């Protein structure tokens, strides 16, 4: 089918239950056809916008990837041997964060001698809802109605990442003696965030953690000189953008402006 035909299957509001039923329970019904019905209901009955992997892989690219027949449904959910975090087999559903994984891998190459052990997505519904509310608040205060959302790196001590995942960027994790005061520091350069990481002394593998996070920067205050007395963003601003010769840092002073999204576990081998 063409892209236009695929789009019509989920946007044609004239379709009736008689048209949709065979896609759900008919002899030719498939995982994809059932997903199309779900998408049709979302679009035509609830006026939802669809984006991400489903649109890119199934509607536009017309991909139909399936798990190997040798893998039983009971094995479709796998658990990480170290963290115990569950994940679905990649072939089961289209992934809308593939490009992020690729960008993260490229960015981590700037850390000399680094080897990525794993990249895992974090999902905490409570934190996400709070963060989305903060985004709306910031957007309403910006002249262009944009929260200025960015993906940024945040280096942390290995013994703190689980609490950040569960509680968000608590004040206890903020840098109190930073060049831009008491705030949470992020960077667009993985090497800069690496400087803030610290492995567990008892860990012989010296594993380190960087959090790839969604940050609502809002109106940025550009600063080229340090100001360690800051405890909040300057008036009419939501964050500080510190510019240095080698890299930039972004600082927020309100907990809910950032949402941890990916956990990057890695090691650095000395030459």
Q: How many angstroms separate the CA atoms of 246 and 210, rounded?
A: 19
pLDDT, position 197: 93
Query: Is 0.75 surpassed by the pTM of this model?
Result: no
- List the structure tokens of 139: 């957007």
Q: What's the burial of 95, exposed, middle or buried (CB within 10 Å: 0-12/13-18/19+)?
A: middle
pLDDT in tens, 154-192: 999 888 888 888 888 876 666 667 889 889 999 999 999
pLDDT in tens, 208-249: 999 999 999 999 999 999 898 898 999 999 999 998 767 789
Residues of the chain with pLDDT under 50: none
Q: What's the burial of 74, exposed, middle or buried (CB within 10 Å: 0-12/13-18/19+)?
A: exposed
- List the structure tokens of 218: 């809002």
pLDDT, position 192: 94
pLDDT, position 209: 94
- List the structure tokens of 65: 């990837």
Q: How many angstroms separate the CA atoms of 228 and 232, rounded?
A: 11
Q: How many angstroms separate the CA atoms of 82 and 120, rounded?
A: 12
What DSSP element (H or E) covers 7?
Answer: helix 3-11
* Structural domain boundaries in the chain: 3-60, 107-268
Q: Please, which residues have CB within 8 angstroms of residue 135's CB and are 6 or more apart in sequence?
A: 147, 149, 216
pLDDT, position 189: 94
- List the structure tokens of 90: 């990649």
Q: How many angstroms separate the CA atoms of 168 and 67, rounded?
A: 35
Q: Are the C-beta atoms of 33 and 85 separated by less than 8 Å?
A: no
pLDDT, position 176: 65
Instruction: Kindly list the distances between the CA atom of residue 203 and the CA atoms of 71, 84, 113, 208, in Å, as whole numbers in the listed order.
Output: 35, 18, 18, 10
Q: Are the C-beta atoms of 168 and 129 separated by less than 8 Å?
A: no
Architecture of domain 107-268: Alpha-Beta Complex (3.90)
Instruction: Kindly list the distances between the CA atom of residue 190 and the CA atoms of 39, 62, 196, in Å, as whole numbers in the listed order.
Output: 37, 35, 10
- List the structure tokens of 67: 């798990």
pLDDT, position 110: 92
């Amino acid at each position: 089918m063409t892209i236009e035909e695929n789009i019509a299957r989920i946007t044609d509001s004239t379709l009736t239950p008689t048209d949709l039923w065979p896609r759900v329970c008919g002899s030719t019904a498939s995982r994809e056809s059932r997903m199309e019905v779900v998408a049709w209901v979302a679009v035509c009955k609830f006026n939802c916008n669809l984006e991400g992997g489903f649109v890119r892989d199934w509607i536009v690219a017309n991909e139909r990837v399936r798990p190997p027949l040798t893998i039983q449904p009971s094995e479709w959910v796998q658990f990480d041997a170290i963290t115990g975090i569950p994940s679905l087999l990649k072939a089961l559903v289209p992934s809308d964060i593939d490009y992020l994984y690729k960008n993260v891998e490229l960015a981590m190459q700037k850390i000399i001698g680094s080897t990525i052990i794993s990249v895992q997505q974090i999902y905490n519904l409570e934190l996400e809802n709070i963060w989305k509310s903060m985004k709306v608040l910031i957007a309403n205060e910006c002249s262009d109605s944009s929260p200025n959302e960015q993906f940024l790196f945040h280096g942390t001590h290995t013994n703190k990442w689980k609490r950040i995942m569960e509680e968000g960027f608590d004040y206890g994790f903020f840098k109190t003696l930073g060049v831009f005061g008491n705030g949470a520091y992020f960077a667009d350069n993985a090497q800069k965030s690496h400087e803030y990481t610290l492995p567990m002394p008892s860990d012989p593998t010296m594993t380190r953690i960087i959090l790839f996070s969604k940050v609502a920067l809002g109106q940025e205050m550009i600063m080229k000189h340090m100001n360690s007395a800051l405890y909040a963003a300057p008036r009419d601003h939501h964050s500080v953008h510190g510019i240095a010769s080698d890299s930039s840092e972004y600082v927020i002073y309100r907990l809910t402006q950032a949402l941890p999204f990916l956990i990057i576990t890695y090691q650095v081998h000395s030459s």
